[in-house]
Structure 1
Amino acid sequence: MADRVREKEKEEKQKGERWKAALVNLTEMGSNIDSLQQLLVKKAVFVDDDTFAKASLISEQSKTIKSLEQRVETLERELDAAIAAAARARSEKRQAEAAQRAAELRAQDITRELENTTKVFKLHMEELRSKQEEISKKESDIKVLEAIIQTLSRNDSSAGDD
């Protein structure tokens, strides 16, 4: 039991020390507040309502200017991006036009080549027709000659029989 009593006394003593420390802290805070108040009284600037209104207006204008400056910067970045995109588009357009011109030249070359091939084909066809006519004429001549030979052969065989 004596131990319990000693512990209680010890706890009471610790509580008392805590209260004393808390009171010391409060006293120090009070003196700090007094010092701060004296500083504010010495350093504070008191202005009339017009001056305060002008200062408030200037402050609002400053905020507006800052906001507008940020907007201008944003718009400048967007403009730079649009300019870069336009430059890319112009470059792509030039490339597309160059490719189109190259395709048109290639088409012209192919057309010329086809026209030349057509002319050569027509010449070959004329030559083939000419050869065909020649062959037909020779076949006709051959048939006539065969008929003459047959006729002569018959006449010879008929004359030899007489």
Structure 2
Amino acid sequence: MEEQMGGSEDRWKGSLENITEMASNLDSLQKLLLKKAVFVEEDTFSRASLVSEQARTIKVLEQRVQTLERELDAAITAAAHARSEKRQAESSQKAAESRAHEVTKELENTTKVFKLHMEELRGMQEQISKRDNEIKLLEAIIQTLGGKERLRKTGVNE
């Protein structure tokens, strides 16, 4: 691709040099005609007029070529900038995806830990409930035994 651009660029430069040389020749011919006021035959005059018109056309085309070259340079620069922005956006997206993956994994781990704690709390709650029932049973036994003791003590005193 670069070889094609280089060859194309060389041809443009050569063409521009030829055009510049033709313009210089025309200027010289025009100055000569003005100074000497030479009358030339119709054929020579028409050729000179044609060359003069071609020189003007060439100048316009040169300007157009320069404008197109500037536009091409601007387009190349814009494309490079767009590629750079695209790479940066892709990099940002990958970083965001990676962070989202990390957060998801962290949430999953937290959920697992929470489930384990909940199971542990349920087990402790069951133990507490079991012991509470045992305490109530023991209190009932104590009250029952305590009631019989009172009855015995009151019966002995009577």
TM range (shorter): 0.7 to 0.9
Other-structure match for 2:23: none
Other-structure match for 1:16: none
**One-letter amino acid matched to 2:148:** N
Other-structure match for 2:97: 104
Candidates 122, 133, 136, aligned match of 2:129: 136
Structure 1 runs (4+) greater than 6 angstroms displaced: none
**One-letter amino acid matched to 2:63:** Q
Q: Give the secondary-structure state (helix, strand or coil) at the position aligned to 1:90.
A: helix
Whose Rg is larger?
Answer: 1
Residue 78 (1) aligns with residue 71 (2): yes
Residue by residue over 1:5-51, the C-alpha shift from the partner in whole angstroms, topping out at 9 and shown as x without a partner, is: xxxxxxxxxxxxxxxxxxxxxxxxxxxxxxxxxxx9xx553222122
Question: Unaligned regions of 5+ residues in structure 1, if any?
Answer: 1-39
Other-structure match for 1:95: 88
TM-score scaled to structure 2, two decimals? 0.72
Count of residues paired in the alignment: 121
Query: 1:161 & 1:45 partners in 2: Cα distance?
Result: 163
Query: 2:43 & 2:119 partners in 1: Cα distance?
Result: 110
**One-letter amino acid matched to 1:131:** M
Q: Give the secondary-structure state (helix, strand or coil) at the position aligned to 1:46.
A: coil
Other-structure match for 1:152: 145
**One-letter amino acid matched to 1:77:** R
Residue by residue over 1:29-88, the C-alpha shift from the partner in whole angstroms, topping out at 9 and shown as x without a partner, is: xxxxxxxxxxx9xx5532221221121011101110111011101110111011101101
Other-structure match for 1:124: 117
TM-score scaled to structure 1, two decimals? 0.71
Query: 1:98 & 1:114 partners in 2: Cα distance?
Result: 24
Query: 1:118 & 1:69 partners in 2: Cα distance?
Result: 72
CA RMSD of aligned residues (A): 1.5
Residue by residue over 1:84-142, the C-alpha shift from the partner in whole angstroms, topping out at 9 and shown as x without a partner, is: 01101110110111011001101100110011011101110110111011101100110
Query: 1:108 & 1:80 partners in 2: Cα distance?
Result: 42
With CA pairs under 8 Å and 6+ residues apart, which has the higher RCO, 1 or 2? 2
Query: 2:82 & 2:44 partners in 1: Cα distance?
Result: 56
Question: Unaligned regions of 5+ residues in structure 2, if any?
Answer: 1-32
Query: 1:84 & 1:147 partners in 2: Cα distance?
Result: 92
Query: 1:102 & 1:83 partners in 2: Cα distance?
Result: 29
**One-letter amino acid matched to 1:55:** A
